[in-house]
Structure 1
Amino acid sequence: MRAILLGVALVAGHFIALRVLPSGSQAATNLSVGVLILSALIAAASAAGTARRCAGRARYGWSALALGMVGWAFGESVWAFYVTFRQGHAPFPNLGDFGFLLMVPGAVAGMVAVLGVRRGLLRVMLDGLVIAGSLLFLSWAFVLEPVYRAGNLTAGAKAVSLAYPLSDVLLAAVALILLPRAAAGYRATAALILAAALALSVGDLGFAYLNQHSTYTCGDPIDTGWVAGFVLIALAARRAPATRQRPEQSVPILVWMPYAPLAVAILAAADLLASGQRLTAFPSMLLGAVILLVLARQMVALRDNTALSRDLHRVVAQLRDRESELHHLAYHDPLTGLANRALFVDSAEAADDGPLAVLYLDLDGFKPVNDRHGHAAGDALLVEVGRLLRAETREPDLVARLGGDEFAVLMPGVTDRSEAEELGRRLTERLAEPFLILGHQVRIGASVGVGLREPGDVSVDALLRRADESMYAIKSTRPGRRAAAVPV
């Protein structure tokens, strides 16, 4: 807050002092060049300080901004030399103009590095051309064309006079492009940089207009535009966060901001035509080109939106596939691919009160396979058992692995216990046959219990309990088979 107050005091004090002091006096000149050099150096120091506490692209960006400010301070120092030691006479252009114009590439490079764009570069470039073209039309119609046609300036003076406002057009265009795309933490910084570009534009356009009529003198109140620009850059540097933040979604109203200069340019052209003035060839072609750029930008946006929609459909399809995969994993055994207990219970409950039979299988002699041949052999055996159970059961039956070496078969629509027991006997016989597991023949057996849904069953637990009790009753009447390894 103190920095803001000091900045406001510096700008206001500079403007008031130049209004009070006699125009063109040495006092006004000395005050103006001193404050201008001081404000440019303050901006350079603030940007350099921010560069030291930042890293990566932000460090390079603030360093470039600091270099641009130093260049402007050098240009003003050369101007001060002429107006101080040459009794107010400074040739135009001179070496100081090189320093002034050095600020432009430094400021542009700095803004791009600090607030840079990584996505949608073509649209950004088209936005920049629309903004630059619109601002150039306004500058040309009201300031630059008279400067260009002025007969009292040399070709070099005309070129430099045009370079200042054109460079401000570039600065303002870049700032307008980057403002809506800046990360949330950088939006205040971007807004301050945009305000700085506009303030510098006021100073440069005023200088070009007055210089066209040979009425500019160092110490003119228009110099306050430059002071304000440097103060705003210093505040932007102080406001910038030290770490690079992730870009967030653009603020909708800011996305449309680049088209505001075009709207102003069209209104200005309509006003000029309504007042009886004629647009010359260059501004007419410029405005037409900007309108064509807007159409091209909309076509690019349509193409990008189509690609985004296509990508969105692909992502949705991938999410659905992933959801289906997760659902499968949640309701299936990862080793055998059979249904797990959760799916088994859900399927039994989904059968409502209809006829239902359950087979409960417990492998006999599975542990010796694990002990003798390892867990890999045990897992392979479980997979083979799962395949056998699926092959021997009906299409509507659900085969599940309940855990360990325990399996179950859900048989909807079965009312005859003998039908379920027949399947149990067939499975017992097939499971008694040898399995070829990892190069070894192993034999196991199975105890199979049968349970049927009875009137009054309110949950599948009672059905499973009866099948489990049946299985253990069978297991108690005969010992489980022990696994044996037979060389192949």
Structure 2
Amino acid sequence: MSHQVRVVLLGAGLVVTHFFALRLLPAGSQAATNLSVGMLILCALIAAASAARAARRCAGRARYGWAVLAVGMVGWAFGESVWAYYVTFRAGIAPFPNLGDFGFLTMVPAAVAGMVAVLGVRRGLLRVVLDGLIIAGSLLFLSWVFVLEAVYQAGNLTAAAKAVSLAYPLSDVLLAAVALILLPRATAGHRRTATLMLAAAVALSVGDLGFAYLNQHSTYTCGAPIDTGWVAGFILVALAAHRAPSGRPSDSGQSAPFLPWLPYVPLAVAVLSAVELLARGEQLTAFLAVLLGTVILLVLIRQMVALRDNTALSRDLHRVVAQLRVREQELHHLAYHDPLTGLANRSLFVQRAEDALDGPLALLYLDLDGFKPVNDQHGHAVGDALLVEVGHVLRAETRTGDLVARLGGDEFAVLMPGVTDRAEAEEVGARLTDRLARPFTISGHRVVIGASVGVGMRAPEDLDVDAVLRRADALMYAVKSTRPGRHAVLHPA
């Protein structure tokens, strides 16, 4: 049996033992009181110790969150200790409210702050606030219908006692609302922790609502079975802290499809409760009518905010798509063009030549003469600038439909589709040779180079462009070896 399973079984055993022990012991007896008080203090301290251990194990905001939660559990244990003092040493007579209630009520804001710090709300804060108000309003409606209205109207409690009696379930409404908000937004690594915290909030709410109901009827006694709700709540907090991930949770993993709808479950139950009251012929009080109307209005506002966010998201999505298309075009251009000169690269040149191979075409293969001494004497920056200028010259001296490419280094090529006459291609080659022989001025330096050009014409037996390129390349090297810097009018053998 794994350690995790043993911990869960131990926690469940404490809850079950507490419940059945109180059922077996006489109600209101000192034994039941002592058992319940002792178990409550023990479980609150177990939750505090587990949260403190999680704080030492975690880092960042989670560490502070678990530390605050541990303080809240200690506060509740203090409140129960004060209660134990009255029921043990004051013959069970405890003033209400008393100092222990301060300890009880400090647990809720500490638990809320701790859950927010541990689970976190990083985006969509307005929607989170609206969801919280909707959930809190719905839970308040249900609590008022079934418990709180009777507490408020009870005539046997002082104003302070009424306020404290209402504070317990209202605090639980806040605790449950926060848990419901954070659960759908929890990351995959924290979802189990969030689920356990929500279950703890529900269990504590059962204990507090039961206490408020029995107390307003003056029938609550320490050691009543309703105390098991608090025991279960603290055990669940301890399990949540025990199972909390120590590192930063991963955002990977899909959320359950029902989780985004979970905050609206209390609203649906509240509406059904209102319908049931009206069906029985009862009327909603002014407070309940205003409360339910406010919650419905918040739902409408929430939908407007969602529509606004979706519109903004759609706009952002269109912008991102447009940026991606531009980037795709840039990447496509980089894949098929020389980054220095902006001319086509070898890949694009071969692709276009293969596409044009069905018809007549001519290729000019050009190699610069005297380029290496420019690099050696003036540096690569001047050499690169010279290559850019050569690219401009080649574009200017060729036809609009011709494709100029830099094949690599100081080698260039010109694709001339539709040319059937070798003399036409040789004339272009001669023009390029003459133009490139003129001096260039690069960064204040006067640079003189030349070019050797070979002409290749497509033959009927050519199956690919490589054959044409090889012939043009061979003619270019023949020119370079005999008359460098001049265009050779040579014909293949």
TM-score under structure 2 length normalisation: 0.96
> What pairs with 1:254-273 in structure 2 (closer than 5 Å)?
254-273=259-278
- Among 449, 467, 471, the alignment partner of 2:454 is 449
- Alpha-carbon distance, 1:480 to partner: 4.5
Q: Find the counterpart in structure 1 of residue 43 from structure 2.
A: 39
- Alpha-carbon distance, 1:38 to partner: 0.1
Q: Find the counterpart in structure 1 of residue 148 from structure 2.
A: 144
The amino acid of 1:195's aligned partner reads A
Cα deviation 1:436-460 (Å, max 9, x = unaligned): 0111111111111101111021111
CA distance in 1, matches of 2:352, 2:11: 74
Q: Find the counterpart in structure 2 of residue 90 from structure 1.
A: 94
Q: Find the counterpart in structure 1 of residue 109 from structure 2.
A: 105
Q: Does 1:393 align with 2:408?
A: no
SS in 1 for 2:424: helix
Q: Find the counterpart in structure 2 of residue 285 from structure 1.
A: 290
Greater CA drift, 457-466 or 202-211: 457-466
> What pairs with 1:291-330 in structure 2 (closer than 5 Å)?
291-330=296-335
How many residue pairs match? The answer is 481
Cα deviation 1:416-444 (Å, max 9, x = unaligned): 11110000000000001000011111111
Q: Find the counterpart in structure 2 of residue 200 from structure 1.
A: 204
Q: Find the counterpart in structure 1 of residue 469 from structure 2.
A: 464
CA distance in 2, matches of 1:39, 1:477: 100
- Among 365, 376, 379, the alignment partner of 1:374 is 379
CA distance in 2, matches of 1:162, 1:379: 81
Q: Does 1:340 align with 2:340?
A: no
Cα deviation 1:295-320 (Å, max 9, x = unaligned): 11000000000100111111111111
Q: Find the counterpart in structure 2 of residue 72 from structure 1.
A: 76
Q: Is the 8 A contact 1:181 1:247 kept in 2?
A: no
CA distance in 2, matches of 1:352, 1:404: 26
- Among 41, 44, 60, the alignment partner of 2:64 is 60
The amino acid of 1:268's aligned partner reads S
SS in 2 for 1:268: helix
- What is the RMSD computed on CA atoms of the aligned residues? 0.9
The amino acid of 1:309's aligned partner reads S
TM-score under structure 1 length normalisation: 0.97
Q: Find the counterpart in structure 2 of residue 173 from structure 1.
A: 177
CA distance in 1, matches of 2:262, 2:250: 22
SS in 2 for 1:358: strand
SS in 2 for 1:360: strand
- Alpha-carbon distance, 1:107 to partner: 0.2
- Alpha-carbon distance, 1:252 to partner: 2.8
CA distance in 2, matches of 1:87, 1:81: 9
Cα deviation 1:1-39 (Å, max 9, x = unaligned): 111111111000000010111111111000000000000
Q: Is the 8 A contact 1:138 1:268 kept in 2?
A: yes
Cα deviation 1:25-69 (Å, max 9, x = unaligned): 111000000000000000000000000010100001001110110
SS in 1 for 2:97: coil
CA distance in 2, matches of 1:321, 1:171: 49
Cα deviation 1:249-268 (Å, max 9, x = unaligned): 64331001111100000111
CA distance in 1, matches of 2:215, 2:89: 21
Q: Find the counterpart in structure 2 of residue 438 from structure 1.
A: 443
SS in 1 for 2:92: coil
- Alpha-carbon distance, 1:473 to partner: 1.8
Query: Sequence identity of aligned pairs in percent?
Result: 81
The amino acid of 1:423's aligned partner reads V
Q: Is the 8 A contact 2:440 2:446 kept in 1?
A: yes
SS in 2 for 1:396: coil
* Structure 2 unmatched runs, 5+: 487-493
Q: Is the 8 A contact 2:357 2:464 kept in 1?
A: no
